[in-house]
């Protein structure tokens, strides 16, 4: 019998261990006994450690292939560590309710990873900033995810792309509804060059072959999740870019002009300290290197 670690939404900060006679891939859903009932959990991998107590058996395996790939789960774990909560609780908020009911889900495989990079786009004029986003999206040959702090902004940006991008490639991520989210999830994985636009909740949207992640108005407090556990959805998008590869573009209104691929050091001391753009540059530089997380640098801002 094999020992399988399973993530189950609940008060546990760690995986729970079960035994199974099947080789279950990480990222597949399983049905396991819990207390007097049963729960749907996510396989997180096998373990070789000897069990000190008898283990319960996995009752059912829902997926032959992973429905969440390794980079996605890696980003979830990174955010869970940064915000001091369980990865399973993060997944509970990110995934549609149908996911945890064991309903059929399309496989979410891992694509070829491309190098990670980041850019900044700070301009007071939102339309000018969005024009630069559109140019980068139109240049994409793989998947793109454009995130906005408000639903109305996402809808306006989506409409600006209609006609420039084929309709079957463009997806406006739903704000709520398990059925709508499941349908959009299936559409997003149906092609490698999907372009997804949405509010903060769209940070959970899958990309079959990610190339571009855009986060607009990064200083807006709306990026924090409304439900517990509280965590930053913009930080999750950045963690996904790091894990899966691609270009992360962070933008907003600022005195800093234009788009930049590098974060220049401040030329000298300022009376009021560093600008918001410089602080964000520092955060991204540390976030990219893995030395710390957004949460460590600016816990009150995220």
pLDDT tens track for 250-266? 999 864 445 555 443 34
Q: Which of 42, 57, 46 is nearest to 102 (CA)?
A: 42
Please say if the pLDDT value at position 288 is more than 80: no
**CB neighbour class for 262 (10 Å; exposed up to 12, middle 13-18, buried from 19):** exposed
| Interhelix angle 233-244/70-82, nearest 10 degrees | 140
Kindly report, residue by residue over 163-189, the tens digit of the pLDDT.
999 999 999 999 988 899 999 999 999
Q: Per-residue pLDDT averaged across 11-40, rounded?
A: 94
Hey, how many other C-beta atoms are within 10 angstroms of the C-beta on 230?
A: 12
Angle at 14 between CA 8 and CA 18, to 5 degrees: 60
Determine the longest span between alpha carbons in the chain, in angstroms.
66
Give the pLDDT score at 179. 92
Q: Which of 248, 251, 275 is nearest to 149 (CA)?
A: 251
Give the pLDDT score at 71. 97
Q: Which of 28, 169, 54, 163 is nearest to 108 (CA)?
A: 28
Indicate the pLDDT class of residue 202, thresholds 50, 70 and 90.
very high
Q: Please tell me the distance from the alpha carbon of residue 255 to that of residue 258, in angstroms, as a whole number.
A: 10
Q: Which of 201, 43, 182 is nearest to 106 (CA)?
A: 182
Give the pLDDT score at 177. 84
Bridge partners, 162 (sequence order): 165
Q: Rounded to 5 degrees, what are φ and ψ at 65?
A: -125, 155
Q: Please tell me the distance from the alpha carbon of residue 155 to that of residue 159, in angstroms, as a whole number.
A: 6
pTM score: 0.84
Under DSSP, the state recorded for 54 is: P
Q: Which of 174, 40, 193 is nearest to 185 (CA)?
A: 174
Q: Which stretches of 56-172 are DSSP H helices? A: 70-82, 87-94, 126-138, 151-161
Share of the chain above pLDDT 90, in %: 76
Under DSSP, the state recorded for 135 is: H
Q: Which two tokens stand for residue 301?
A: 């801002």
Pick from 7-16, 68-77, 280-289 the range whose average pLDDT is largest: 68-77
Kindly report, residue by residue over 92-109, the tens digit of the pLDDT.
999 999 999 999 999 999
**Contact partners, residue 37, CB within 8 Å, separation at least 6:** none
Angle at 195 between CA 87 and CA 130, to 5 degrees: 100
**CB neighbour class for 253 (10 Å; exposed up to 12, middle 13-18, buried from 19):** middle
Q: State how far Cα 230 lies from the chain centre.
A: 15
């Amino acid at each position: 019998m094999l020992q399988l670690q399973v993530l189950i939404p609940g008060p546990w900060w760690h995986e729970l261990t079960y035994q199974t006679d099947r080789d279950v891939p990480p990222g597949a859903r399983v049905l396991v006994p819990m207390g007097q009932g049963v729960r749907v959990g996510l396989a997180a991998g096998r373990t070789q450690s000897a069990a000190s107590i008898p283990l319960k058996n996995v009752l059912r395996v829902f997926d032959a292939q992973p429905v969440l790939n390794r980079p996605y789960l890696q980003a979830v774990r990174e955010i869970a560590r940064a915000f001091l909560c369980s990865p399973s609780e993060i997944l509970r908020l990110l995934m549609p309710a149908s996911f945890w009911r064991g309903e059929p889900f399309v496989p979410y495989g891992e694509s070829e990873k491309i190098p990670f990079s980041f850019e900044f786009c700070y301009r007071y004029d939102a339309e000018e900033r969005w024009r630069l986003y559109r140019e980068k999206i139109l240049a994409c040959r793989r998947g793109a995810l454009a995130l906005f702090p408000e639903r109305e902004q996402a809808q306006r940006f989506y409409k600006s792309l209609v006609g420039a991008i084929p309709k079957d490639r463009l997806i406006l991520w739903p704000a709520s509804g398990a059925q709508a989210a499941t349908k959009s999830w299936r559409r997003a994985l149906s092609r490698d060059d999907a372009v997804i636009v949405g509010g903060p909740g769209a940070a959970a949207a899958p990309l079959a072959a990610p190339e571009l992640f855009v986060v607009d108005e990064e200083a807006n407090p709306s990026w924090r999740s409304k439900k517990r556990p509280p965590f930053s959805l913009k930080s999750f998008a950045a963690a996904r870019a790091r894990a899966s590869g691609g270009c992360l573009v962070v933008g907003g209104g600022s005195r800093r002009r234009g788009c930049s691929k590098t974060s220049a050091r401040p030329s000298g001391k300022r009376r009021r300290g560093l600008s918001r753009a410089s602080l964000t540059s520092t955060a991204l530089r540390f976030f990219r290197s893995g030395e710390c997380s957004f949460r460590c640098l600016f816990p009150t801002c995220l």
